[in-house]
């Protein structure tokens, strides 16, 4: 099994809310993904995680090898 790439680790983190990479890299990638500054405490907001999931949906489907995801993660 190959290790996850940084991009794959980012997507897995967005969907699982478990860090698969160092926090500083995740934080920067999350800001780039959403196109806005994220203050540390905002990661406690479920709406932020939902927006990250929406932005990474296609990458997540590719990562898990599925075009249909029912019920979300």
Sequence length of the chain is 73
- Tokens at residue 55, please? 């932005």
pLDDT in tens, 16-69: 999 999 999 999 999 999 999 999 999 999 999 999 999 999 999 999 887 555
Q: Which helix (H) or strand (E) holds 3?
A: none
Tell me what pLDDT residue 53 has.
98
CA-CA distance, 62 to 27, in Å (whole number)?
22
Tell me what pLDDT residue 42 has.
97
pTM of the complete model: 0.85
């Amino acid at each position: 099994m190959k290790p996850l790439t940084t991009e794959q680790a980012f997507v897995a983190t967005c969907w699982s809310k478990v860090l698969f990479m160092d926090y500083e890299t995740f934080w920067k990638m999350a800001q780039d993904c959403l196109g806005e500054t994220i203050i540390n405490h905002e990661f406690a907001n479920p709406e932020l995680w939902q927006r990250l999931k929406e932005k990474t949906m296609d990458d997540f489907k590719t990562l898990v090898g599925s075009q249909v995801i029912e019920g979300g993660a």
